[in-house]
Structure 1
């Protein structure tokens, strides 16, 4: 007789919620390490640790120095860092990725996952989404995607010297996939006598898939799996969509698991995903020497029974000597734009740009990680202009701003910028709160926005202790389907005039904070 399953036996997908796409994972003993794409944000490539693959904690960022992450001041939103791969080989950690805004493909290394990570070793290879794999003779192979020419569009493979960044052989065409668009996200694995090449196809939207090929050698030839794609949720009514860009890992007892990106679109057709592409986890079986996967479930059995790490706190009181690694800023975070020392226990932000509508502003944010969320700060704006913003890019953001004795809600949607509501506020510190609530089929008379529409969610703005929102806005305009791109919502503090101080910041699920 088996014992009944407890809640501790299960995990919920996504395992890393919010804007955490293109996951790559490696195992060292009983520890797992995972990285994600960061695009135009600094620091770059968030690094996570887990003991069971299901519960993750961010322990740093691989690219945490300007010398590692040169991004032009005018780099477009959704440019920057694409698709990192993390591996552990010969006692070192290796991370390879692409800076599409400056320099292309490069490698950094570290003795410990927490760093310090080296400065980049640049590699003269085209394309994006590079991967690293070593054979039994010590040769390092780099698979990459996106090098499109008149004769071949697909994944190519080169033998490289990862220490010097030199190409020793190739690159040569490997596999163009099954015929879908954008064969990308390659990862090479040696399993038994076979080399496996896993890719994503179909574009990173609803047609996203995972496909597999195999060969006796990294040089090919490659044969596709008879059941390709090995994973796809396209053209289904599954709540998880856009499944793709995956990586494989084994547990110490030899079981296989896959991390992958996917979305949770909601609202009326065509539906909207507002948190970005997130990291999911699903088990993998093998049949006739081919992997068998999916579908990806919202709830699954935990891979490894271990003592879970404590959940990351949603609140930051700015009492430590350094910023939490979860804080990110668009393109850069210059010295002198922020301080934890000028007013102990407070975060000081100094204005560098006069608007959030263009690059160059002072902004520190965290990824929105809950569909129903509450984010609050205590702001002392003094003579400055500052506030709390829900940001997708320079052309799509909602701001709750305080200046000149007034709080106002400002909506920037494409070419339109509008002050939606204004309210007087007293001098001194003031609490600003943003909540997001998933939409439902409201009767017309009860629709929060006053309009009979089917938004994916509503974003509400509160000042002080007033239970009535200053404004409540349709969340679809802060979605990828409207704004385009590859990122998700980031909620953060900003200043566009003078200096502002923030005593604390709190982000978490709405039901737990009310």
Structure 2
């Protein structure tokens, strides 16, 4: 059969995967968004359904005043002796920690902190031993992939942290994962930075603690030389073996907006590539060490059909799974119902690293029509295409001296410009529409069946190449207002991809 990449669309970076019985589970980074670390499950590797989040309580993670692209980095998901473990970093507080659960569909424990620095932590279990790895500097001042043995019940280090591999010379050595395969230990990592030079490298040895010999043909997977190919930034992967004995590599990558337009705004997504072990024990990945937008394979049965959801509404999404908040929300400002949401605005706007009244869903493809009907009593409410507090486009209904108006506002760095305003007099409700292409967003208002164009803005100014950071665009619904009780009601939301 032929499957298409990405297998999880939208801003879901740094995938980590494990298999329990005949089910696969996958987690991704969440940065400043809450709940944190989304969890997916699959039976066939290509169709993924979100089932929850690991970090659902404020006691588990500090996100208050976290800057965009701060917070929760690069989780690792593992299963050992009937228990799931997720280890990650709060990059803002510079703390590595892990949590656990005996029920993947239930709540997770409070954090257990590990006294080892760096980011992108990994857990490796072997019999009664637990190894913890991250990138950084060890207890002796040596940089690289750093490892210690720890007591899993408490997080207490049992050995000093020691650098066990320095990579192949690429910058930003990160994302370590350790595996034992056919009696040998494989240490996989990412190098080159999570941009256009990203790559996956690996080494192997006869002990979990090294020494490790680098694969002679590293990088084992990268798209860094595929200029003009839509899929770029391939790296940060995790190996998994399927039920038939085949190996696969889940990894992040991003889709640029055009053949030679080196901008991406959907964020880093989840991609899948086949892995093949040679008789010498070294493995190769992908197609000639690259990942393709589609793979033809006999490893997945022809009876499997890859699903691609095209329509997202209030009614067919789950507030607790598909939607998320900026940092820790004030629960009293949200009334979430099956077919509508009521938001209470505050003086906190989208322009500051705090928690405005905002609920968002990830943009999953380039071409989309986004619409929502909004009723407002005071303040401002609307749809935002949100990259971070300094880079977002807002299509909003707000109060003015005459009554109400619809505005198109562009926020690009320090420039905040209301490009157009249409007066509505005393009409306090309207349908707002955004039509998205790979390179442009177009903004419309519909009143009594008449649609009016306010303007357009280039997607590139919401891209990582302009805004920086590690996230992607979210389609957000928001409300602001200094007056207590500034309320807005959102109905008939839809996002239709083509």
TM-score (norm 1): 0.89
Match of residue 431 from structure 2: 431
Q: 2:25 aligns with which of 33, 38, 44?
A: 33
The separation in 2 between residues aligned to 1:437 and 1:424, in whole angstroms, is 27
- Could you tell me how far 1:410 is from its partner in structure 2? 0.4
Segment drifting more, 307-316 vs 415-424: 307-316
* Residue 380 (structure 1) aligned with residue 368 (structure 2): no
Match of residue 82 from structure 2: 91
- Could you tell me how far 1:258 is from its partner in structure 2? 0.5
Match of residue 469 from structure 1: 453
* Residue 263 (structure 1) aligned with residue 257 (structure 2): no
Whether the aligned pair in 1 keeps the contact of 2:230 and 2:259 (CA below 8 Å) is no
Q: 1:505 aligns with which of 479, 484, 493?
A: 493
* Residue 350 (structure 1) aligned with residue 338 (structure 2): no
In structure 2, do the counterparts of structure 1 residues 325 and 160 end up closer, same or farther at CA, with 3 Å as the change threshold?
same
After the TM superposition, which residues 161-176 of structure 1 pair with which residues of structure 2 at under 5 Å, given as runs?
A: 161-176=151-166
Whether the aligned pair in 1 keeps the contact of 2:139 and 2:162 (CA below 8 Å) is no
* Residue 116 (structure 1) aligned with residue 107 (structure 2): yes
Q: Which secondary structure state, in structure 2, belongs to the residue aligned with residue 55 of structure 1?
A: coil
Match of residue 460 from structure 1: 442
Match of residue 175 from structure 2: 185
- Could you tell me how far 1:239 is from its partner in structure 2? 2.3
Q: 1:235 aligns with which of 225, 234, 248?
A: 225
Segment drifting more, 206-215 vs 101-110: 101-110
Q: Which secondary structure state, in structure 2, belongs to the residue aligned with residue 281 of structure 1?
A: strand
Whether the aligned pair in 1 keeps the contact of 2:199 and 2:219 (CA below 8 Å) is yes
* Residue 221 (structure 1) aligned with residue 221 (structure 2): no
Q: 1:23 aligns with which of 15, 23, 26?
A: 15
In structure 2, do the counterparts of structure 1 residues 386 and 38 end up closer, same or farther at CA, with 3 Å as the change threshold?
same
The separation in 2 between residues aligned to 1:126 and 1:34, in whole angstroms, is 24
* Residue 140 (structure 1) aligned with residue 134 (structure 2): no
Whether the aligned pair in 2 keeps the contact of 1:233 and 1:241 (CA below 8 Å) is yes
The separation in 2 between residues aligned to 1:209 and 1:296, in whole angstroms, is 11
Structure 1 residues 328-374: Cα deviation after superposition (integer angstroms, max 9, x where no partner): 11111122121126xx7421111133421113311101111011112
In structure 2, do the counterparts of structure 1 residues 45 and 402 end up closer, same or farther at CA, with 3 Å as the change threshold?
same
The separation in 2 between residues aligned to 1:249 and 1:217, in whole angstroms, is 20
Q: Which secondary structure state, in structure 2, belongs to the residue aligned with residue 170 of structure 1?
A: coil
- Could you tell me how far 1:428 is from its partner in structure 2? 4.6
Match of residue 417 from structure 2: 418
Match of residue 363 from structure 2: 368
Segment drifting more, 409-418 vs 382-391: 382-391
Match of residue 328 from structure 1: 324
Whether the aligned pair in 1 keeps the contact of 2:86 and 2:100 (CA below 8 Å) is yes
Q: Which secondary structure state, in structure 2, belongs to the residue aligned with residue 469 of structure 1?
A: strand
Structure 1 residues 418-461: Cα deviation after superposition (integer angstroms, max 9, x where no partner): 001111336254221112112xxxxxxxxxxxxxxxxxx10011
Q: Which secondary structure state, in structure 2, belongs to the residue aligned with residue 37 of structure 1?
A: coil
In structure 2, do the counterparts of structure 1 residues 58 and 119 end up closer, same or farther at CA, with 3 Å as the change threshold?
same
The separation in 2 between residues aligned to 1:160 and 1:227, in whole angstroms, is 33
Match of residue 4 from structure 1: none
Match of residue 65 from structure 1: 57
Whether the aligned pair in 2 keeps the contact of 1:25 and 1:35 (CA below 8 Å) is yes
- Could you tell me how far 1:279 is from its partner in structure 2? 0.7
* Residue 104 (structure 1) aligned with residue 133 (structure 2): no
Structure 1 residues 385-437: Cα deviation after superposition (integer angstroms, max 9, x where no partner): 10000011010000001012210000011011000111133625422111211
* Residue 274 (structure 1) aligned with residue 259 (structure 2): no
The separation in 2 between residues aligned to 1:285 and 1:139, in whole angstroms, is 29
Runs of at least 5 residues in structure 1 that lack an aligned partner in the other structure: 1-8, 439-456
Q: Which secondary structure state, in structure 2, belongs to the residue aligned with residue 328 of structure 1?
A: strand
* Residue 407 (structure 1) aligned with residue 397 (structure 2): no
Segment drifting more, 76-85 vs 9-18: 9-18
The separation in 2 between residues aligned to 1:123 and 1:412, in whole angstroms, is 39
The separation in 1 between residues aligned to 2:445 and 2:293, in whole angstroms, is 35
- Could you tell me how far 1:171 is from its partner in structure 2? 1.0
The separation in 1 between residues aligned to 2:9 and 2:328, in whole angstroms, is 24
In structure 2, do the counterparts of structure 1 residues 34 and 399 end up closer, same or farther at CA, with 3 Å as the change threshold?
same
The separation in 1 between residues aligned to 2:156 and 2:309, in whole angstroms, is 40
Whether the aligned pair in 2 keeps the contact of 1:243 and 1:260 (CA below 8 Å) is yes
Number of equivalent positions = 479
The separation in 1 between residues aligned to 2:115 and 2:407, in whole angstroms, is 50
Structure 1 residues 103-147: Cα deviation after superposition (integer angstroms, max 9, x where no partner): 611111111222211111111111110111111x32011111133
Whether the aligned pair in 2 keeps the contact of 1:131 and 1:142 (CA below 8 Å) is yes
In structure 2, do the counterparts of structure 1 residues 414 and 97 end up closer, same or farther at CA, with 3 Å as the change threshold?
same
Structure showing the higher strand proportion among its residues:
2
Whether the aligned pair in 2 keeps the contact of 1:318 and 1:347 (CA below 8 Å) is no
After the TM superposition, which residues 197-212 of structure 1 pair with which residues of structure 2 at under 5 Å, given as runs?
A: 197-212=187-202
Q: Which secondary structure state, in structure 2, belongs to the residue aligned with residue 232 of structure 1?
A: coil
TM-score (norm 2): 0.92
Q: Which secondary structure state, in structure 2, belongs to the residue aligned with residue 22 of structure 1?
A: coil
Q: Which secondary structure state, in structure 1, belongs to the residue aligned with residue 137 of structure 2?
A: coil
The separation in 2 between residues aligned to 1:71 and 1:21, in whole angstroms, is 18
Q: Which secondary structure state, in structure 2, belongs to the residue aligned with residue 129 of structure 1?
A: coil
Whether the aligned pair in 1 keeps the contact of 2:138 and 2:146 (CA below 8 Å) is no
Structure 1 residues 229-263: Cα deviation after superposition (integer angstroms, max 9, x where no partner): 11111132232111100000011110000000111
Q: Which secondary structure state, in structure 1, belongs to the residue aligned with residue 161 of structure 2?
A: strand
